[in-house]
Chain A
């Protein structure tokens, strides 16, 4: 548990007036407020520190104690005992509005809790009996491309609890979904936090995915490319027969409409599958084959 310099957190000196503290706090809170820094864990942490600093420095009693013990706070045990016997009236709230930015009293540092015994008043310092939404949890889920071709249910263990979620088909790599009500418990009957799951979807060795479209390379031999023919190609939902027209060039593409990836949250809508032909040039020709190719070249 480390000492936290609350003056430094607010960027003020030790002689700062109440007005200077308030101004500095407002400035820092605007900068780091979770609502203006969505999904920024660093900003969230900084916001908590700033909030905690304000909680202490804007309250004359707490500020006095903080200044008194300062870096020597570990010897504040006696003070804590006194504090436990006192009835604090510092929590003089006037609003029942929930702050649902994920900040709860649990977010006060160990340093704060050790010194002030968890007397956090919450953001703004004026919200007694305030209902706080529980903390939002963040999790990552690693899946293969084929896992997200179909919607499926999966059981996850988050903070020791098993939850069963539906992973919708077509979800994108890096995409985050919100599972409402599976975060931390609320404070004072506040709503439960939410769970945010970010999906890491590995590339597939066979298919490249670009949005809802898939790309794949099909190898064909020279004779099929020259004379035309039929090949079988694997798609995400089975194999299909493809007619290769005579005179197919190396690198040419065909589009298989609707054989791509499912569109996210759009039932029965799919992207396209693009097949690129890779013409294999025969090697290790026999003498007879060489002769025939030479004849062809002359014709």
Chain B
């Protein structure tokens, strides 16, 4: 398994001016994953983009946790549907071009 870079949760919280309890809530909602090593909390690198988006939604748009949860699920669904549209468009193209 490829090694994953870990970002210190404390450092992240300090630089983003948030409480760690907020991150813990996000984890409990199943919205992000956190890793604990020797009693220190870390954020896996692949969670960073998701986490930053959540913070922007929270900060910029004043959306609470439940709202962000709903938004992220809908965005995920949109993304799946967009992939499906691409797949179907490619199929359709076969009949249009041949």
Q: Is the CB of B94 within 8 A of A35?
A: no
Min Cβ gap B88→A in Å is 10
**CB within 8 Å of B: which A161-183 residues:** 172-175
Min Cβ gap B81→A in Å is 12
**B59 contacts partner chain A, Cβ-Cβ < 8 Å:** yes
- Sorted from nearest, which 5 A-B pairs have the closest CB atoms? A174-B86, A203-B97, A208-B94, A30-B61, A173-B90
Residue of A nearest to B14 (CB): A96
Q: Is the CB of A96 within 8 A of B17?
A: yes
B interface residues (Cβ-Cβ under 8 A, vs A): 15-17, 52-53, 55-57, 59-63, 71, 75, 78-79, 82, 86-87, 89-91, 93-94, 97-98
Q: Is the CB of A100 within 8 A of B89?
A: no
What does DSSP make chain A's interface, helix, strand, loop or mixed?
loop
Q: Which residues of A contact B94 (CB under 8 A)?
A: 203, 208-210
Min Cβ gap B68→A in Å is 10
Q: Is the CB of A33 within 8 A of B61?
A: yes
**A99-B57 Cα distance, complex, nearest whole Å:** 10
Min Cβ gap A22→B in Å is 10
Min Cβ gap A134→B in Å is 14
Known A-B contacts A97-B16, A203-B97; the reply to A175 vs B86 at CB < 8 A is: yes
**A99-B59 Cα distance, complex, nearest whole Å:** 10
Q: Which residues of B contact A101 (CB under 8 A)?
A: 56
Min Cβ gap A13→B in Å is 24
**A124 contacts partner chain B, Cβ-Cβ < 8 Å:** yes
**A95 contacts partner chain B, Cβ-Cβ < 8 Å:** yes
**A234 contacts partner chain B, Cβ-Cβ < 8 Å:** no
Q: Which residues of A contact B71 (CB under 8 A)?
A: 36
Could you name 8 residue pairs across A and B whose Cβ atoms are closer than 8 Å? A26-B61, A29-B60, A30-B61, A36-B75, A100-B52, A100-B56, A124-B60, A173-B90
Q: Is the CB of A172 within 8 A of B56?
A: no
Q: Which residues of B contact A38 (CB under 8 A)?
A: 75, 78-79
Residue of A nearest to B62 (CB): A26
Contact of A203 among B59, B62, B93 (CB under 8 A): B93
Q: Is the CB of B93 within 8 A of A173?
A: yes
Min Cβ gap A276→B in Å is 12
Residue of B nearest to A215 (CB): B94
**A208-B15 Cα distance, complex, nearest whole Å:** 51
**A101-B75 Cα distance, complex, nearest whole Å:** 15
**A211 contacts partner chain B, Cβ-Cβ < 8 Å:** yes
- Contacts A97-B17, A174-B89 known; list 9 others, CB within 8 Å: A26-B62, A33-B56, A35-B60, A36-B75, A38-B75, A96-B16, A174-B86, A203-B93, A208-B94
**A35-B78 Cα distance, complex, nearest whole Å:** 12
**A123 contacts partner chain B, Cβ-Cβ < 8 Å:** yes
Residue of B nearest to A173 (CB): B90
Q: Is the CB of A99 within 8 A of B90?
A: no
Residue of A nearest to B89 (CB): A174
Q: Is the CB of B87 within 8 A of A172?
A: yes
Contact of B86 among A33, A96, A172 (CB under 8 A): A172
**A38-B90 Cα distance, complex, nearest whole Å:** 21
Q: Is the CB of A96 within 8 A of B15?
A: yes
